A and B are shown apart, each in its own frame.
Chain A
Amino acid sequence: MRALSWHGKHDIRCESVPDPQIEHPRDAVIRVTSCAICGSDLHLYDNFIPGMTPGDVMGHECMGEVVEVGPESRHALKVGDRVVIPFTISCGACPQCLRGNFSVCERSNRNASLAQKAFGRTTAGLFGYTQLTGGYQGGQAEYIRVPFADKTHVKVPSNLSDEKLLFLSDILPTGWQAAVQLGIEETDTVAVWGCGPVGQFAIRSAVLLGAKQVIAIDRVPERLEMAAAGGAIPINFEVESVMERIDALTDGKGPEKCIDAVGLEAHVSGHIDSMYDRAKQAVMAESDRIHALREIIYLIRPAGTISMPGVYGGLADKVPLGALMNKGITVRTGQTHTQRWTDDLLRRIEEGQIDPTFVITHVADLADGPALYETFRDKKDGCVKVVLKP
């Protein structure tokens, strides 16, 4: 089959790879009809996260049609079902899954020992996202093998387009969880750093959840305009002072709730010591990335809450812990517990409350994927979200 595979820094190729097969009785194989490139994929494209092997298939946002089901998943899936695949692989039965903490499933990461070395404990397996989270092949391909398939899928109706449903796999629930976990009250100002796809959905979620005002911070003008279209007050941090604007909008008190949808690209390997070194390195190389988090800790109102969907990989230097502690800030983080939100969000899409297609700026054949990685990373051609058709 054709797939986008990783061959090193800035080297993604559309090439022929072996077809995936059922390897375990709970697996299913899906024929991918649409897939997308995520900000998280850029961390791999830029080679900030090791643990990719040349030839690994990229991608964790995909949907399609079930073509094969292992015997232990047949109670939940049948050939021909139309499904969106959550990027978090979840067993559905471990203590974490039972609590709805799907992104920290205790069973789905087949390389749990690697994750334990890095994080102390393991988190869930993820598609197309390095050996650390299981080394599962990704969905930017014609077919994908889905482990724990009876629990790792969202059945979707046939009357809605792929474009409306695809983002249930990641960025819609991610923006949603980022806002829900803030506990937004009617009087709250929510400030969102980063107007990439995740930030865009976080903004719309904060509006739906009833925030008094939503502020969006980025430096890419068309992304800021898209944020404003969704109800946010845009601040271009390269043109104006974020602090002055935020002070003016919050009577000098700061937003009660902040979302970091920027993230930090840090290196994680199997060993704690190399993780530390590499993370430090990454922080130096990307010092303006943690800058967003520092700015949040500084500007947020005391007793406020920070939500961090932005991906961080390892360790960071110079985190203003004094401000964080003395101001009584709550921090909520996490890879998204995708399956926790998908039923509710699917209903909202069906009812028309939210139409996720607004974020799509590029639709192309899988073969154009390698070039579009670059377009997306460099924000060329007004690129916000790329959808690929295998």
Chain B
Amino acid sequence: MRYEPQGSPRRGHPDRETDRLARGLGLFSLALGLAEIAAPRAVARSVGLSGREGYVRACGAREVATGIALLAADDPMPWMWGRVVGDAVDLGLLASALDEGPQRRERAGLAMGAVAAVTLLDFAVAKTLSAEDRRPARPLKDYRRRRGFPRPPEAMRGEAREMAGVY
């Protein structure tokens, strides 16, 4: 979990929404990766990459790893940038299919559109997380000595016991 940046009125408080979004993208990575590993042929065909099942399976492994990391990590930020890099790799791979015939071009083009949309989201989430703080709100002032008692609280315990429950 990351915390809202100094400039924010909620400084130091957790940004649950962005965090949830990052974890959601992790789940998406995991699902996509498993599909790429389990059915590389079908996936490859649908995005115009038939014959490159090896690449698809490799991408699947990458997605699974990123997905697990995003779901498990305390701080999703580095893994979100991992997704952005992965998106770029996917876009490059798909682009290579663009000049391999009209049917493949169409499928690759559609897939690129979808990946591009996800890339924008990944980028926005990664950027928001980077702007945030790794540590929760720190105290604005040091009140650790303001005990209000003449002695440490432990020594004051029960000093007014005779009043407990006189209500």
Interface residues of A (CB under 8 A from B): 177, 180-186, 200, 204-205, 207-211, 219-226, 228-231, 236, 238-239, 332, 344, 348, 352-359, 361, 378, 380-382, 384
Contacts and interface: CB of A to CB of B under 8 A. Distances in A.
Contact of A382 (B13, B136, B141): B141
Contact of B140 (A208, A354, A355, A382): A382
Which residue among B142, B160, B167 has the maximum number of chain A CB atoms within 10 Å of its CB? B160
B139 A221 contact: yes
B164 interface: yes
A383 to B, nearest CB: 9
Interface of B: 9, 12-14, 136-150, 152-154, 156-161, 163-167
A225 B139 contact: yes
Contact of A207 (B14, B144, B146, B156): B156
Interface of B (DSSP majority class) = loop
Given A180-B166, A210-B161, A238-B136, A231 B13 contact: no
A224 B142 CA distance: 11
A380 B12 CA distance: 13
A206 B67 CA distance: 48
Contacts of A361: 141, 143
A226 B142 CA distance: 8
Contact of B165 (A183, A229, A344): A183
Which residue among B141, B154, B164 has the maximum number of chain A CB atoms within 10 Å of its CB? B164
Contacts of A182: 165
A378 B137 CA distance: 14
A191 B138 CA distance: 23
A220 B161 CA distance: 30
Contacts of A210: 157-158, 160-161, 164
Contact of A230 (B140, B147, B167): B147
Contact of A229 (B141, B143, B157, B163): B143
A230 B151 CA distance: 10
A207 B142 contact: no
B114 to A, nearest CB: 36
A238 B160 CA distance: 33
Nearest to B167: A181
Contact of A186 (B136, B143, B146, B158): B158
A186 B141 CA distance: 33
A302 B161 CA distance: 24
Contact of B167 (A180, A205, A226, A354): A180
B112 to A, nearest CB: 40
Given A183-B164, A208-B159, A238-B14, A221 B149 contact: no
Contacts of A229: 143-148, 153
B167 A332 contact: yes
Which residue among B138, B143, B166 has the maximum number of chain A CB atoms within 10 Å of its CB? B143
B45 to A, nearest CB: 46
Contacts of B142: 222, 225
B163 A359 contact: no
Nearest to A211: B157
A107 B32 CA distance: 73
Contacts of B156: 207-208, 231, 353
B148 A221 contact: no
Contact of B143 (A181, A222, A378): A222
A184 B167 CA distance: 11
